[in-house]
């Protein structure tokens, strides 16, 4: 997969800054592709098949920032993936190119027709455009799919609508997955994503209360966190350090630490059979199951007893997952 970065003024450039000019004719789709979930994967599969049947390259067009964040400075999107993790997920598909558009206020001013003509056709070489069933673009997103089809006909671009991908009569979308995560339904989110929901954060110093109880934790810095945090509670997780391929089991608590009078949300992960110094390192945490909601205990000792039960529950669930692979 080739990654290409595009700005209105500089056109297409590779990661190393090399300018490559307008792209060859291609079959493309456009969207934010947050999480690269099974609905996206379904669309990408159809895109690649169509491109191969036409003897053209397949191209995914996405954005470096959520468009709404550019238009509303106070908007804080709850992302399922970072740009880096999204590109990694896309690299596991069979698509030929991913174009990352630098979305700014100048691009936001383009109407759908201007965007299709000046960017998609003239710069990115789009001959056929697949559009997700719920995707709209252009200034104020006023136009409909029928408008896109008409504009395409005028400029020699085929425009096709992709059907929704359904699981149990639910249209799989990033919004649906976020709704599951808000309820702590990480198993349902995993079903829709096609993989466990995963966050990445830097390990920082915490309150060391867990260590006193015999359950040392890795605490993630969420001060500049852009990914969505699931509902408060205790989760069975799998973790690994960014520079490591070794996956370890653990349990994460998301919440306010009510037993200790906490006032802000923390993400604390107890990694089983591990006591290394990982401060300052990036930790990837994959959510497998939600064990229980957050509770306030009468004493630290009562909490410690519950944590022992939680660990047994987590191990049993992850062992069962392993058996079912």
CATH number of domain containing 156:
3.40.50.620
Longest alpha-carbon distance in the chain: 72
pLDDT score of 258: 86
pLDDT score of 223: 84
**Domain final residue pick, 139, 163, 187:** 163
273 in the same domain as 151 = no
Which residues are CB-neighbours of 186 under 8 A, at least 6 positions away?
A: 180, 196, 197, 230, 235, 287, 288, 289, 290
pLDDT score of 230: 97
Does residue 31 fall inside a structural domain? yes
Q: Are 232 and 312 contacting, i.e. CB atoms less than 8 angstroms apart?
A: no
| Long-range CB contact pairs, 256-260, < 8 A, 24+ | 256/232, 256/294, 257/207, 257/209, 258/294, 258/295, 258/296, 259/296, 259/297, 259/299, 259/300, 259/303, 260/207, 260/209, 260/300
pLDDT score of 82: 93
**Domain final residue pick, 148, 163, 178:** 163
Strand-pair partners of 99: 4, 61
Q: Average pLDDT, whole number, for the chain?
A: 92
Does residue 278 fall inside a structural domain? yes
Residue range(s) defining the domain that contains residue 284: 196-323
CA distances for 211 relative to 38, 50, 113, 135, 137, angstroms: 39, 55, 59, 48, 50
240 in the same domain as 118 = no
pLDDT score of 270: 95
pLDDT above 90: residue 277: no
Please state which of the ranges 67-71, 103-107, 201-205, 306-310 shows the lowest mean pLDDT: 67-71
Domain CATH number, residue 263: 2.40.30.30
Percent of the chain with pLDDT over 90: 74
150 in the same domain as 25 = yes
pLDDT digits (tens, 9 = 90+) for 124-163: 999 999 998 778 888 767 788 999 999 999 999 999 998 8
Here the tokens at position 251 are: 């349990």
**Domain final residue pick, 115, 148, 163:** 163
Our count of domains for the chain comes to 2
pLDDT band for 2, please (50, 70, 90 cuts).
Answer: very high
pTM: 0.91
218 in the same domain as 156 = no
Does residue 180 fall inside a structural domain? no
291 in the same domain as 210 = yes
Here the tokens at position 153 are: 């006909």
């Amino acid at each position: 997969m080739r990654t290409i970065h595009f700005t209105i003024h500089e056109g297409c450039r590779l990661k190393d800054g090399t300018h490559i000019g307008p792209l060859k004719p291609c079959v493309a789709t456009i969207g934010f592709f947050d999480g690269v979930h099974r609905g996206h994967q379904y669309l990408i599969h159809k895109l690649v098949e169509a491109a191969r049947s036409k003897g053209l390259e397949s191209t995914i067009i996405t954005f470096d920032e959520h468009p709404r964040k550019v238009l509303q400075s106070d908007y804080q999107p709850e992302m399922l993936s970072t740009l880096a993790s999204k590109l990694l997920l896309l690299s596991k598909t069979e698509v030929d190119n991913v174009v990352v558009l630098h979305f700014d206020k100048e691009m936001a001013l383009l109407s759908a027709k201007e965007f299709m003509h000046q960017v998609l056709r003239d710069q990115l070489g789009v001959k056929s455009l697949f559009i997700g069933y719920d995707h709209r673009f252009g200034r104020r997103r006023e136009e409909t799919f029928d408008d896109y089809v008409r504009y395409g006909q005028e400029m020699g671009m085929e425009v096709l609508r992709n059907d929704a991908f359904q699981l149990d009569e639910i249209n799989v979308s990033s919004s649906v997955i976020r709704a599951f995560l808000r309820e702590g339904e990480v198993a349902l989110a995993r079903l829709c994503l096609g993989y466990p929901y995963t966050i990445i954060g830097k390990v920082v110093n915490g309150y060391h209360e867990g260590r006193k109880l015999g359950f040392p934790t890795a605490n993630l810095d969420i001060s500049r966190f852009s990914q969505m945090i699931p509902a408060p509670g205790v989760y069975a997780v799998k973790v690994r350090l960014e520079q490591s391929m070794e996956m370890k089991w653990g349990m994460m608590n998301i919440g306010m630490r009510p037993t200790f009078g906490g006032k802000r949300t923390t993400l604390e992960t107890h990694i089983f059979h591990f006591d290394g110094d990982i401060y300052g390192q990036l930790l990837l945490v994959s959510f497998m199951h939600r064990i229980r909601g957050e509770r306030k205990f009468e004493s630290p000792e009562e909490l410690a007893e519950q944590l022992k039960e939680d660990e047994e529950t987590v191990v049993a669930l992850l062992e069962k997952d392993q058996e079912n692979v």
